[in-house]
Amino acid sequence: MHEVIATVCGLGYSPIASGTVGSLAGLGLYLILHNNPLVQFVSFVILFILGVISSGVIEDETGEKDPSKVVIDEFACILIAFLFVPYKLLYIVAGFIIYRIIDIIKIPPMAKLEGVRGGWGIMLDDLVGAIYTNIILQVLAFLFH
């Protein structure tokens, strides 16, 4: 069961850009939940907890730090990237791109958080990236509203 959760039903096995695939799936979940921020946040919390547990188990089983097949972090945390952001195509596209760039380049302290042992490290760096993304989107929404 940990494998199913950590790979988001196998999406993490994508041969190309598994993190982006996981993020796209999370974006799909956001599109479903965007009308109810409370449900969006509660869904994130549940997925985050499941992600800490399942990704930690997979990391222990593989002996690999943050295995590429683990995409529950991108899937769950993108919900925070869009929390309370205006529901407009421009923000959705910009937010997705910003979230992926931040996740790839690991703006500090993301790289240090990734070093935290187990599932916490896997999940926390993406959460910080999502918070950064949300702040950027909130500023853009304020400036261009």
Tokens of 50: 């499941």
pLDDT tens-digit map of 93-136: 999 999 999 999 998 888 888 788 889 999 999 999 999 999 99
pLDDT digit string, tens, across residues 15-37: 999 999 999 999 999 999 999 99
So what's the pLDDT on residue 66?
A: 87
Q: How many CB atoms lie within 10 A of CB 61?
A: 12
**How far, in whole angstroms, is CA 86 from its chain's centroid?**
19
Residue 133 has which token pair?
């993304």
45 neighbors 39 (Cβ within 8 angstroms):
no
Q: Which helix (H) or strand (E) holds 78?
A: helix 72-81
DSSP state for residue 24 in the 8-state scheme:
H
Q: What confidence score (pLDDT) does residue 104 get?
A: 93
Residue length of the chain: 145
Cα Rg of the chain, angstroms = 14
pLDDT band at 90 (very low <50, low <70, confident <90, very high): very high
What pLDDT, on a 0 to 100 scale, did the predictor assign at position 105?
A: 94
What residue type is assigned to position 29 of the chain?
Answer: L
Query: What is the pLDDT at residue 108?
Result: 86
What is the model's pLDDT at position 128? 97
Q: How far is Cα 113 from Cα 27, in angstroms, rounded to an integer? A: 23
Cα–Cα dist 36/112, whole Å: 33
pLDDT at 29: 98
**Stated pTM of the model:** 0.95
Query: According to the model, what pLDDT value does residue 65 have?
Result: 87
Residue-wise pLDDT for 50-86, tens only, equals 999 999 999 999 988 889 999 999 999 999 999 999 9
* Per-residue pLDDT at 3: 94
